[in-house]
Each structure stands twice: as C-alpha cells, then as structure tokens.
Amino acid sequence: MTVLGVMIAGACGAVLRYLVDHVVQRRAGSAFPVGTMVINLSGSFVLGVLTGSALHHGISVTWLTVVGTGLIGAYTTFSTFTFDSVRLAEADRWGLSLLNVAASIVLGLAAAAAGLALGSSA
C-alpha cells in the first residue's frame, strides 16, 4: 500500500512542480530559473517540517514516506537544477549560474533548518 501511495504522490508532485514552474517562470520572464528555485526552497521547508514532526511528534512513517518521499521528493528536483546551472554557464552567464548554485544550496539548507525547527516545536 505504501508503494501505491508513493506512486500517486509522485505523480501529483511532478505535475505540481510543472504547474508552479510554469506560473512562476512566466511571471518572472527571466533567464534565471526562479521557478525551480521557488520549488526547491518551498519543498525543502515543507520536508523539514514533516521530518521534524516525525521525529518529535510521532507522525507515522507511512505518512512521512508518502508525503515526504513521494509528494515533496517528486515536487523538488535536483536534475533540473544542475541542468539549468550548466546551461547558464554554457551561455557564458557564469554569474547567474553561480548565483543559482550558491543561492539554491544556502537558502535550501536555511529553509530545511527553519522547517525542521518549526516541525520539532509546533
């Protein structure tokens, strides 16, 4: 049953990522992949909250697996992040490429830490 839940959640996460990226990127209209960054930062925060809640408030492992591994794991993406960074560098936009890598990592870890703190306390 958990596998079925992960599959359904994964399908929802991938579609949600596509829709959020579509909306954010069209509003931004920029060469910078702000859509993927918004997705990865928001997902890191939510997974932090879920993980903190699982560690300190005992939400079930099945719930964490389906929503965390399935939905949020599929919603966020590493491959698009690396691809976009390489493509920016190829286009000689090294500043944007480095900004994408550095900001995603620093803010992603900060978002995860804030989520873990919130999930552990709330």
Residue 38 tokens, joined: 């918004």
Q: Is 86 in the site for other proteins (CB under 8 A)?
A: yes
82 or 121: CB nearest other proteins: 82
Asked if 61 interacts with other proteins (CB under 8 A), we say: no
For the bound state, the minimum distance from the C-beta of residue 80 to other proteins, rounded and expressed in Å, comes to 4
Residues 40 and 82: their CA atoms lie apart, in Å, by: 12
Read off the amino acid at residue 29. G
Other CB atoms within a 10 A radius of the CB of residue 60 amount to: 9
**What is the spatial distance between Cα 46 and Cα 67, in angstroms, rounded to a whole number?**
10
- How far apart (Å, rounded) are the C-alpha atoms in residues 82 and 48? 22
Q: Which of 1, 26, 58, 60 binds other proteins (CB under 8 A)?
A: 26
Residues that bind other proteins (CB under 8 A): 3, 6-15, 17-19, 21-23, 25-27, 29-31, 33-36, 40, 43-44, 46-48, 51, 65, 69-70, 72-86, 101, 104-105, 108-109, 111-113, 115-116
